[in-house]
Amino acid sequence: MSYQQLTSHYRTISHLDNVLGLLHWDMATMMPKGSAQARSAEATTLKSICHGLKTKPDIEDWIDAAKGESLGDWDKANLREIEREYNQANALPTDLVAAMSDAISACEIAWLKARPANDFQSLCPYLERVFELVREQAHVLSDRSGLTQYDALLDLYEPGYSSAQLDTVFAELESFLPNLVGEIIEHQERMGPIVKPSGPFDIEIQKQLGRDLMDALGFNFDHGRLDVSAHPFCGGSPDDVRITTRYTADDFMQSIMGVIHETGHALYERGLPNSFRGQPVGRARSMGIHESQSLLMEMQACRSPEFVSYLAPRLRAAFGATGPGWSTGEMLRSYLEVRRGLIRVDADEATYPLHVILRYRLEKALLSGDLALADLPSAWNDGMRELVGIVPETDTNGCMQDIHWHMGSVGYFPTYTLGALNAAQLFEQAVTDIPSIPDEIGQGNFSGLVTWVRESVHQKGSLLSPNDLMVSATGRPLDPSVFKRHIKRRYLEQ
Amino acid sequence: MSYQQLTSHYRTISHLDNVLGLLHWDMATMMPKGSAQARSAEATTLKSICHGLKTKPDIEDWIDAAKGESLGDWDKANLREIEREYNQANALPTDLVAAMSDAISACEIAWLKARPANDFQSLCPYLERVFELVREQAHVLSDRSGLTQYDALLDLYEPGYSSAQLDTVFAELESFLPNLVGEIIEHQERMGPIVKPSGPFDIEIQKQLGRDLMDALGFNFDHGRLDVSAHPFCGGSPDDVRITTRYTADDFMQSIMGVIHETGHALYERGLPNSFRGQPVGRARSMGIHESQSLLMEMQACRSPEFVSYLAPRLRAAFGATGPGWSTGEMLRSYLEVRRGLIRVDADEATYPLHVILRYRLEKALLSGDLALADLPSAWNDGMRELVGIVPETDTNGCMQDIHWHMGSVGYFPTYTLGALNAAQLFEQAVTDIPSIPDEIGQGNFSGLVTWVRESVHQKGSLLSPNDLMVSATGRPLDPSVFKRHIKRRYLEQ
């Protein structure tokens, strides 16, 4: 049966993808620095073998034959995802892929130098080359799929999503969020300055706290690890999920919430349907759904008053600390502080979407050519003034802060905000279905919430499109008004 | 050029072998236990891809064509090693390889149960099956190579070595070693009981001591790591050498010498010729040469009075300890204690070859069928009585103690003793060439010794056969009288 040849072939591919996941994890956590060059050559070899398997010409024949075979719903969806993956792997001509890889390497190196030096001009030709090739990529993908060029890129990260949908959703956010942020900041200022615990905070204690929270959230250490890396991530594979965080003795709040965020990603990977392990339909659905799972844990569940009332006494006990910054009320204020900041990755949940909308506008304009790269810094600053109400003094903290464009990722930024909106909607639905969830979370008990997301999201793998998954889980498509309600309630009404 | 096609192909293979090395390291050190099944499937996929590359039919044509090309000495030797590797990879029919893999898996599982239960009978059919397939393997290899069946297996681990040579070398050892061991034990007893430091010994201190010694020996932590595993090993790859050890709070001597032993292996891997990285001629020569590098460091250099006089005060300082067991003289006695023991891996350097000779005799007899497996326990006990002068009360501590036969490794045991003899001869030559080496070691300075072995052994890769390598490094072939001289001098004359 051709379908079986396909599943066997994609199981092999998934094994190699998992090995690549492990190589990447090792590189970021364990590898001695002198081994980078050798490791990079090894990973390139493995990737090229993997690419060979993904573009094997037999696949097309197997797909055609499998379409005539009698398949159940999951297998049909698997066939659809296989075809999608095959088309993506085959879409780009080899010389474009190679040119892209070279241009990205050069641009990343240039970015690593130019960013700290606040030297956008020296970066410009490298980034220009990357965008040139991204345009070519978008052109090819668009020709194959019939999608617009931007949508063809977006589809790589959020299948079935369109910029028309994004325009609607983001317009809605823009209509209330800038003003709402202003109101929240005023509201928080009226309550006086936030007193924060002061360090140093023992790193071993932070590690143990992180592990205890992972336990509470249901992370299975028989199938995963927690380690340290410069940039936190969730990697490995569904049967061996490896998350990382970073510690600083000045601040424990970052590592604690970082661990919870990555644990949300990890629970998703681990909860994917076991019977479709290694098959395209058994994978996580999209970046926007993945991010919803981390933000559901970090933002929705663990910055709630209920959870902070569980967490605060445990933090006091762990660090043996007392004083005004350690009261439950004050810790909640710390965890919910809203600021007009320059840096996306440091942004709170209220301002974060505004950073994303800026990038979405700019990357669309850069892709279409409506915005010249030389004009990016001023366009960035104008957008920051309008959306966030603050202007960076340097491009270092402005248009050069993120790595995404320099590595050719265009169409990725929106998925962060889709994740936040999905998370709000999923959490609201979970609490509607199981009203005891907030109280349970207040006791450090996540089993109700985790069971709900496992059934409603994790176990679905890639059976449904992101849109249909939201309908299946919450009864309706993505609705930004839930996020609005969440922000207003949490920041103005509590 | 066909030769270039070969080097490019074998570079690809080495990348995958290195990745497999990393997977194995991770499995033993980092992997959560629940991931074993998934990891095993991933490793199997990668091994099978690797096997496909190693048996690619084009290789034969490339080899034939390359033989007509004009090549330098190293490239000629590389071509010879490539042919050797290709022939080995192609020698065994696929169904024999698969049957072997199944039989070994089953036998290992049976062994893990039978050994602690002292139940050789239940193990017997599984081991019988493994030996049956090993005989078939030896038959096929022998037909291809023209070697005897045992030699065809030995050649997998020690290229060019023969059982005729082993018979001579082992006969020489048998002629003096059992009596010499008796003399040494009497000699040591006359000096009264050895006083040993008593624990517990902080494991963090042991770790730091191990790292300090690795530094002293010249281990480059920019290209390697030290971690913990149940069974110590040296793994990874030449640019990323990962050694492991194990710690117990009862005893630090084991972890310290274990680290030094594995560091000897690691220095070899790291010292292999950089210009032939990833090529068969650039690999470590053989198991017997590899073991010589660990034993040269552990036995020759680091159990010497010079080194112990360097080590002992550092141990006292690290553990903040005083007392009779901690004097330099008494620590040297501890490190040189000779005992008639049952367990090979715990044996001192004087009795170790006797354990190996027993296994060599038995595995030859089992392979040829001269010894029936049912008679193995009594043959084992007879041999132990004759060679080591002690008889195990259980098969657990007798013929079931080692995993090697259960995983189909026949012809491997002799390489441990070849390693010990090589080590004695190489060390003696190094000291002849650079007489200051013992004094330098007494100051914790290994640079002279490491430079010597790097030039004489490491940098040769697989350019020469093990025999020729010994001639090149020491001016003569393997000569067991050097080992005899070493043992007599160290244990009776000092």
Say how many CA atoms lie within 13 Å of B217 toward its Cβ: 32
d(CA B247, CA B227): 10
- Cβ of A222 within 8 Å of Cβ of B12? The answer is no
The CATH architecture one would assign to domain A93-494 is Orthogonal Bundle (1.10)
Neighbours of B289 (CB within 10 A): 26
Delimit the domains of chain B by residue range.
1-91, 148-494
pLDDT score of A261: 98
Structure confidence at residue B236 as a pLDDT band (50, 70, 90): very high
Probe site for chain A from B11, B16, B20, B30 (most A CB atoms < 10 A): B30
What is the mean pLDDT of the segment spanning B4-31?
A: 97
User: Is B38 within 8 Å of A30 when comparing Cβ atoms?
Assistant: no
pLDDT at B494 over 80: no
**Burial class of residue B265 in the structure, from the number of CB atoms within 10 Å of its CB (0-12 exposed, 13-18 middle, 19+ buried):** buried
Could you count the other beta carbons within 10 Å of the beta carbon of residue A339? 16
Give the B-side interface with A, CB within 8 Å.
Answer: 12, 15-16, 18-19, 22-23, 26, 30-35, 37-39, 41-42, 45-46, 49, 220-225, 237, 239-240, 277
Q: Which residues contact A231 (CB under 8 A, 6 or more apart)?
A: A28, A246
Q: At what angle do helices B352-368 and B376-387 cross, to 10 degrees?
A: 150
Using DSSP, state whether A70 is helix, strand or coil.
Answer: coil
Q: Do A240 and B23 touch (CB under 8 A)?
A: no
Where are the alpha helices (H) located in B191-252, listed in sequence order?
203-217
> Under an 8 A CB cutoff, do B31 and A240 touch?
yes
Q: At what angle do helices A414-433 and A447-456 cross, to 10 degrees?
A: 120
Angle between helices B58-67 and B73-91 (to 10 degrees): 150
Mean pLDDT, range B75-102, rounded to an integer: 93
Cβ contacts (< 8 Å) between B32 and chain A: which residues? 221-225, 240
pLDDT of residue A323: 85
Over the range A276-310, which residues count as b (16 or more CB within 10 Å of their CB) and which as e?
Answer: bbbbbbbbbbbbbbbbbbbbbbbbbbbbbbbbbbb
Regions of chain A with pLDDT less than 50 = none
- Pairwise CA distance, residues B412 & B421, whole Å: 15
Q: Where on the phi/psi map is residue B377: left (φ > 0), alpha (ψ -120 to 50), or beta? A: alpha
Q: What is the pLDDT of residue B306?
A: 97
Q: Average pLDDT for residues B172-194, to the nearest whole number?
A: 97
Q: A9 to chain B: nearest residue by CA?
A: B45
Q: Å from A172 to nearest chain B CA?
A: 45
Cis peptide before B200, with omega less than 30 degrees from 0? yes
> Chain A: which residues have CB within 8 Å of chain B?
12, 15-16, 18-19, 22-23, 26, 30-35, 37-39, 41-42, 45-46, 49, 220-225, 237, 239-240, 277
| Distance in Å, alpha carbon of B37 to nearest chain A alpha carbon | 9
> If one looks up domain B148-494 in CATH, what number appears?
1.10.1370.30
Select from A49, A222, A277 the Cβ nearest to the Cβ of B34: A222
**What's the rounded Cα separation, in Å, for the pair A73 and B195?**
74
pLDDT of residue A1: 86
What amino acid positions of A are annotated as catalytic residues? Answer: 262
User: What residues contact A430, with CB distance under 8 A and at least 6 apart?
Assistant: A437, A448, A449, A452, A453, A456
pLDDT of residue B474: 98
Q: How far apart are CA A340 and CA A390, in angstroms?
A: 6
**Please, what is the average pLDDT of chain B?**
96
**Sequence-ordered list of residues with C-beta below 8 angstroms from that of B112, at least 6 positions apart, any chain:** none
Number of H helices, E strands in chain A: 20, 3
Phi, psi (degrees; rounded to nearest 5) at B226: -120, 125
Residues of A in contact with B41 (CB under 8 A): 15
pTM: 0.94
Which SS3 state, helix, strand or coil, does residue A90 take? helix
Phi, psi (rounded to 5 degrees) for B463: -60, -40
Distance from CA of A278 to the nearest CA of B (A): 10
Q: Are A75 and A3 in contact (CB under 8 A)?
A: yes
Does the beta-carbon distance from B240 to A49 stay under 8 Å? no
Instruction: Test B223 with A37 for CB contact under 8 angstroms.
Output: no
Rounded to the nearest angstrom, the gap between the alpha carbon of residue B172 and the centroid of all alpha carbons in its chain is 22
ipTM of this complex: 0.93
Q: What is the pLDDT of residue B322?
A: 83
Please, what is the angle between helix A352-368 and helix A163-190, to 10°? 150
DSSP string, A399-413: TTS-STGGGT--S-T
Nearest to B39 among A222, A240, A277 (CB): A240
Q: Which of B81, B262, B291, B363 is catalytic?
A: B262
Q: How far is B284 from chain A (nearest CA, A)?
A: 18
The string of pLDDT tens digits covering residues B282-297 is 999 999 999 999 999 9
Sign of the Cα pseudo-torsion (B26, B27, B31, B37, in order):
positive
Active-site annotation holds for B262: yes
Picking from A396, A399, A332, the residue whose alpha carbon sits closest to that of residue A359 is A399
Cα end-to-end distance, chain B, whole Å? 60
Residues 6+ apart with CB under 8 A from A64: A2
Query: Cα distance from A190 to chain B (closest Cα, Å)?
Result: 50
CA distances from B266 to A76, A458, B135, B316 (A): 51, 44, 33, 27
Q: Report chain A residues whose CB lies below 8 A from the CB of B7.
A: none
**Which of A324-328, B173-177, B309-313 shows the lowest per-residue confidence on average (mean pLDDT)?**
A324-328
**Is residue B314's pLDDT more than 80?**
yes
Mean pLDDT of B34-58: 94
Interface contact flag, B221 A32, Cβ < 8 Å: yes
* Whole-number pLDDT of residue B324: 85
For A378, other C-beta atoms within 10 Å of its C-beta total 11
Give the pair of three-digit tokens for residue B234.
């040296």
Question: pLDDT-derived band of residue B323, with 50, 70 and 90 as boundaries?
Answer: confident
